[in-house]
Structure 1
Amino acid sequence: MIDSLRDLLVVSDMDNTLLTAKEGVPACNRATIELFRALGGRFTVATGRPPASIRAALGGTRLSCPAIACGGSVLYDLEADRALEKSFLPLAAAREAVTAVMEQFPDMGVDVMVEEGRVYVVQANRYTQAHLRDEEIGCIMCPLEQVPCNWAKVMFAADPIAILNLQKFARGLHFDGMYFLPTNTIYFEIMPTGVSKAQALRRLCARLDVPMENTVVIGDYYNDIDLMRAAGHAVAVDNAPPEVKLAADEVVASCTSGGVGEYLYSLIKRYT
């Protein structure tokens, strides 16, 4: 039962939901997050970004509780600057899968996130370069065999047609302990089996003693749908694809129009 803002946990996707890489977090979102937190509401993010990139994108905007980072592979406490939980890919199988993709798609960009989100660029292209620049992610360039163990996830980056072809190719790849996930029209990822934003939300709620029915998720893309379905209430921003809007209980303004702030303010009016 929700009687006040203190009973709620609001979790927002970041890219194209809370912010854009070019424009950052709209001022109205920043102001409303601060007000929501000051009045007792709990707010955090669920994102494919590593912790360092989350911190850089948020600037001075603080979260109320740990962030769901690296697509759910990491629960990270930004205040304490430490990982609370980490999940990893099976190393031999992940290396085999990446090798197969690189042989089939020699121009594919390949990033590996290790541990709590250190990024190793195995193969660069203009999409990986733009990703690292826009998300303010530091990286290490190295061949695949020199990437350290404990892989949180792998990200492939290319133009939309190449990513669609990669998705078709990946349907014929079968490796225990991992699965493939499209996260953008230009990104395709490998994640550990059983690891997702939705599963990370369940683990976070268990840590915070928050019932799942008291959670709100705000998202914009297909990889947010499972997270939205797991939450007590699902919200989509207006720039989301139609299928994502259909999975939501309600739709708010677009990312650049401050849809997250608009929704948080509606909660403030309802519960204060």
Structure 2
Amino acid sequence: MKSALSDTLVICDMDNTLLTAKEGLPACNRTVINLFTSLGGLFTVATGRPPESIRAALEGIRLSLPAISCNGALLYDFSTETVLHRSTLNREQATTAIKDILNKFPRMGVEVMAGNGEMYVIHANETTHAHQVDEHLGSIACPIDCVPDGWVKVVFAADPEAIRKLGQYAKTKYYGRDNYFLATNNIYLEIMPGGVSKATGLQDLCALMNKSIKNTIVIGDYYNDLELMRTAGHAVAVANAPAEVKATADEVTTCTCAEGAVGEYLYALIDRATKS
């Protein structure tokens, strides 16, 4: 049975795929992940969350391989507590964008993740506060010039309408070519290092661990998972995903995230392996 699952690497998005911000991790997901890995399956996550937040949300689940963190900007190995790969923003261009956006949208929340994903709050609002509470994130409030070097991403946070307007505004502006904007949620718009994504994180992970991308299965729910899903050997969308994401997937779960979609899919994998 072990050999049937040991070549299978499952990479799972976290928010609204593996867990919800309010209800957390469904119990069945925890049970089946532990069963899957005990039988030799490989399981890890690909998420916008920094390592500290991943650790809190997984509540003791042991990942088989390093996590793809900060949307691919960090590969973090929890077994050794080390960053295996880090991509960084052009700080000057990101700073120009932040200052211009705050001038245009003075109520916009702004967070910078630097170093190992530590959060620095440049401009707080209700959404940045909820972000810290929901994801169990520690943070340091400070002016932009006091944030240490090694920025891995910037998060703009506000209500969906403000983020929609910001997204439209950002498309009309040019802050330099080294970074790009990425919508990761209807309440977040992020600045990421150019050429860095969950998909490149998957490629980096497979190269580092000497694994074949053909044997990877990605489970996701949102537009920022599309490139990752297209890169993987097999793509699964959860039932609560938008139509475009479902259309990209090879399979769609019956359950939603909150109902335990990841557990449902992993159990089907175990069942197939057991019978083969």
Fold similarity call, TM over 0.5: yes
Does residue 152 in structure 1 map to residue 152 in structure 2?
A: yes
* In structure 2, C-alpha distance between the alignment counterparts of 1:8 and 1:115, rounded to whole Å: 31
Does residue 138 in structure 1 map to residue 156 in structure 2?
A: no
Which amino acid in 1 is paired with 2:260?
G
Q: Partner of 2:6: helix, strand, or coil?
A: helix
Does residue 194 in structure 1 map to residue 205 in structure 2?
A: no
1:28-67 C-alpha deviation (Å, 9 max, x unpaired): 0001000100000000000000001100000111100000
Q: Partner of 2:112: helix, strand, or coil?
A: strand
1:120-152 C-alpha deviation (Å, 9 max, x unpaired): 000010001001100000000001121111100
1:36 — aligned with what? 36
Which amino acid in 2 is paired with 1:14?
M
Q: Partner of 2:207: helix, strand, or coil?
A: helix
The structural deviation recorded for 1:18 is 0.2
Which amino acid in 1 is paired with 2:208?
R
The structural deviation recorded for 1:161 is 0.9
Aligned length in residues: 270
The structural deviation recorded for 1:203 is 0.7
* In structure 2, C-alpha distance between the alignment counterparts of 1:139 and 1:159, rounded to whole Å: 21
User: Which range moved further: 169-178 or 158-167?
Assistant: 169-178
The residue correspondences of 1:19-58 to structure 2 (distance < 5 A) are 19-58=19-58
Structure 2: 5+ residue runs without aligned partners? none
* In structure 1, C-alpha distance between the alignment counterparts of 2:181 and 2:20, rounded to whole Å: 24
Q: Partner of 1:188: helix, strand, or coil?
A: strand
Q: What TM-score, normalized to structure 1?
A: 0.98
Backbone CA RMSD of aligned residues: 0.8
Which amino acid in 1 is paired with 2:136?
E
Q: Partner of 2:192: helix, strand, or coil?
A: strand
* In structure 2, C-alpha distance between the alignment counterparts of 1:269 and 1:77, rounded to whole Å: 29
* In structure 2, C-alpha distance between the alignment counterparts of 1:256 and 1:108, rounded to whole Å: 29
> Following TM superposition, where does structure 1 have runs of at least 4 consecutive aligned residues deviating by more than 4 angstroms?
none
The residue correspondences of 1:71-86 to structure 2 (distance < 5 A) are 71-86=71-86
2:242 — aligned with what? 241
1:185 — aligned with what? 186
Q: Partner of 1:14: helix, strand, or coil?
A: coil
Which amino acid in 1 is paired with 2:146?
Q
Which amino acid in 1 is paired with 2:70?
C
The residue correspondences of 1:167-182 to structure 2 (distance < 5 A) are 167-174=167-174, 175-182=176-183
Q: What TM-score, normalized to structure 2?
A: 0.96
1:95 — aligned with what? 95
* In structure 1, C-alpha distance between the alignment counterparts of 2:63 and 2:239, rounded to whole Å: 24
The structural deviation recorded for 1:173 is 2.1
* In structure 2, C-alpha distance between the alignment counterparts of 1:4 and 1:177, rounded to whole Å: 43
User: Which range moved further: 205-214 or 108-117?
Assistant: 205-214
The structural deviation recorded for 1:158 is 0.6
Structure 1: 5+ residue runs without aligned partners? none
* In structure 1, C-alpha distance between the alignment counterparts of 2:222 and 2:162, rounded to whole Å: 19
Percent identity over paired residues: 58
The structural deviation recorded for 1:271 is 1.4
The structural deviation recorded for 1:19 is 0.4
* In structure 2, C-alpha distance between the alignment counterparts of 1:249 and 1:95, rounded to whole Å: 40
The structural deviation recorded for 1:160 is 0.8
Q: Partner of 1:189: helix, strand, or coil?
A: strand
* In structure 2, C-alpha distance between the alignment counterparts of 1:118 and 1:192, rounded to whole Å: 17
* In structure 2, C-alpha distance between the alignment counterparts of 1:128 and 1:186, rounded to whole Å: 10
Which amino acid in 1 is paired with 2:35?
L
1:214-243 C-alpha deviation (Å, 9 max, x unpaired): 100000111011100100110011111111
